[in-house]
A and B are shown apart, each in its own frame.
Chain A
């Protein structure tokens, strides 16, 4: 076995894996443009029929709109809460900082069905179910860990002496944060925002337990799947895939731009 043959074999293996990972997504796109009621492959007549249903039919467009609305609110909340916590954990040498960090990422490790069940039983008693506020806070619990992970990693890589220099030169802590720390954290915050938005936008399990009759897009899809395979689901799925691709693109761009700037600053110094 020559090394070149090994490398070729690994390359072939990798291609097969990528095909397996991407195949269902590639298969979905032509299906969503199929005129037919039955999900047949390949489509015979192409049309935008199911996209029209998705955007014009009230039950679908309301679900899409509700998901976007919740996603935006969750993102804003997560950014504020997450960035503040990351600052406290990394910069302020809080007692028990590592314990706090562990707690803050716990919602990613605890199965979401457990979180969902606990919320459902508690909020049923408090009569908090079926409220937009509850749903937004519930999603924020699983979204904020991403912001904390990304922002605290960026903070650890950020040279603290720059902030100290600003303080020595007379800036108060708030000015230092706004003019020095925040601009340096912008890429991480943007990436965190994308992760937080999709944690909320994609969530099904928690929504299934606490939303009551309110239908988000994943819940609308879920309710439809249990009845029949409606082609509108294919169109809705394509919209979700397109959105995550754009989001991932933005997050990756922000992250690599941040890394590049960090590298430049390091070589300059």
Chain B
């Protein structure tokens, strides 16, 4: 048999660089200096963790909702174009999608900074007398994350919308439904699997964000990923970092399982990346 030989390199790579590191996380979170439950005890007692965990979930949720709200009409527009022209519009969305997350976050720092473009324009327009603080605010983190994830929302939604039968919406119109009724009772329900898939995907991706909150949110708007980094690199506390990584992973897995359960398999293929 050739097949086992063909997958052997992949399995070997994943064993050493994916599975064993994961086992190491489990091992360290359950066998730190403070005994088997040191990691869990830290999670339960740390008020910092509780606050940041709730903040991470809230941030992921609001970013997901904003992306869906902004992305849905844009996806409708692309899906409504003739198939031959869709490529051009998709390219406009793909271009920022393929640009480095670090670079895109950095440009927001330039725009929102004290001497940045936004402050310069506000002062030039006479809307502000002195530079306003935009960096290290929730607004900055949301702007940065929405800019990064919006293409994912649009691409996922377009994938589902282009597979719909446009005849059904037209039939509703011919039978006397107003455009709004046709949209609300026919088109929107048909795109629901796409909305759910996009929502779960965005939520999963937002949970692990590290660069954007670190650069634009600063120390006051950390996410779990930033706290893991802080515990490892500043506090040298691997046990709590591992325990948090397990919580983050568990949350992601719950979201993936929900996604599989809510959306039939075939609707996932038009998805992002």
Known: A17-B74, A122-B24. A111 touches B208 (CB 8 A): yes
> Is there an interface contact between B147 and A21, defined as CB atoms closer than 8 Å?
yes
- The contact string, 1 if C-beta is below 8 Å from chain A, for chain B 71-115, is 101101110100000010101111110111111101111110101
Residue from B7, B14, B211 in contact with A94 in the complex, judged by beta carbons closer than 8 Å: B7
> In whole Å, how far is B228's beta carbon from the nearest beta carbon of chain A?
6
CA distance A144 to B70 in the complex (A): 32
Residues of B within 8 A of A218 (CB): 100, 102
> Is there an interface contact between A81 and B180, defined as CB atoms closer than 8 Å?
no
> Is there an interface contact between A111 and B249, defined as CB atoms closer than 8 Å?
yes
Interface: A85 (CB within 8 A): yes
Known: A85-B6, A146-B273. A114 touches B102 (CB 8 A): no
Q: Which residue of A lies closest to B201 (CB)?
A: A109
Interface: A48 (CB within 8 A): no
Interface: B156 (CB within 8 A): no
- The contact string, 1 if C-beta is below 8 Å from chain B, for chain A 9-45, is 0110110011011101101100100000011110000
> In whole Å, how far is A165's beta carbon from the nearest beta carbon of chain B?
19
> Is there an interface contact between B252 and A111, defined as CB atoms closer than 8 Å?
yes
* CB under 8 Å from chain B, chain A span 134-176: 137-138, 140-141, 144, 146, 148-149, 173
> Is there an interface contact between A114 and B100, defined as CB atoms closer than 8 Å?
no
> Is there an interface contact between B147 and A24, defined as CB atoms closer than 8 Å?
yes
Of the candidate stretches B33-41, B46-54, B126-134, B240-248, the one touching chain A is: B240-248
> In whole Å, how far is A147's beta carbon from the nearest beta carbon of chain B?
10
> Is there an interface contact between A20 and B147, defined as CB atoms closer than 8 Å?
yes
Residues of B within 8 A of A39 (CB): 110, 115
- The contact string, 1 if C-beta is below 8 Å from chain A, for chain B 151-194, is 10010000000000000000000000001100000000000000
Residue from A41, A117, A240, A248 in contact with B94 in the complex, judged by beta carbons closer than 8 Å: A248
> In whole Å, how far is B269's beta carbon from the nearest beta carbon of chain A?
8
Residues of A within 8 A of B264 (CB): none
CA distance A54 to B92 in the complex (A): 28
Interface: B207 (CB within 8 A): yes
Residue from B70, B99, B110, B211 in contact with A205 in the complex, judged by beta carbons closer than 8 Å: B211
Q: Which residue of B lies closest to A94 (CB)?
A: B3
Range class of the A interface residue count: 35 or more
A117, A137, A221, A234 pick with most chain B CB within 10 angstroms? A117
Interface: A47 (CB within 8 A): no
Q: Which residue of A lies closest to B150 (CB)?
A: A21
Residue from A14, A80, A121, A256 in contact with B74 in the complex, judged by beta carbons closer than 8 Å: A14
A106, A112, A114 pick with most chain B CB within 10 angstroms? A114
Residues of B within 8 A of A252 (CB): 91, 94
CA distance A199 to B102 in the complex (A): 13
Residues of A within 8 A of B16 (CB): 137
Interface of B is mostly: helix
Residues of B within 8 A of A225 (CB): 106, 109, 215
Residues of B within 8 A of A14 (CB): 73-74, 77-78, 89
> Is there an interface contact between B252 and A13, defined as CB atoms closer than 8 Å?
no
> Is there an interface contact between B10 and A144, defined as CB atoms closer than 8 Å?
yes
Residue from A13, A108, A119 in contact with B17 in the complex, judged by beta carbons closer than 8 Å: A119
Residues of B within 8 A of A104 (CB): 10, 14
Q: Which residue of A lies closest to B1 (CB)?
A: A92
Q: Which residue of A lies closest to B238 (CB)?
A: A121
> Is there an interface contact between A24 and B210, defined as CB atoms closer than 8 Å?
no
Residues of B within 8 A of A208 (CB): 229
> Is there an interface contact between B102 and A229, defined as CB atoms closer than 8 Å?
no
Interface: A178 (CB within 8 A): no
27 A-B contact pairs sorted by A residue (CB < 8 Å):
A7-B80, A10-B74, A13-B74, A14-B78, A17-B70, A17-B74, A21-B93, A21-B147, A22-B95, A24-B104, A24-B110, A25-B95, A25-B99, A41-B117, A85-B10, A88-B6, A94-B3, A114-B22, A137-B16, A201-B100, A202-B100, A221-B102, A225-B106, A240-B100, A244-B100, A247-B98, A256-B87
Interface positions of B (Cβ within 8 A of A): 1-4, 6-7, 9-10, 13-14, 16-18, 20-22, 24-25, 28, 70-71, 73-74, 76-78, 80, 87, 89, 91-96, 98-104, 106-111, 113, 115, 117, 120, 147, 150-151, 154, 179-180, 204, 207-208, 210-211, 215, 224-225, 228-229, 232, 238, 241-242, 245, 248-249, 252, 256, 273
Q: Beyond the given A10-B77, A89-B7, could you list 15 further A-B residue pairs with CB under 8 A, ordered by the A residue number?
A: A10-B74, A25-B95, A80-B9, A94-B3, A94-B7, A104-B10, A106-B18, A111-B249, A111-B252, A114-B249, A121-B28, A198-B98, A237-B107, A240-B100, A248-B94
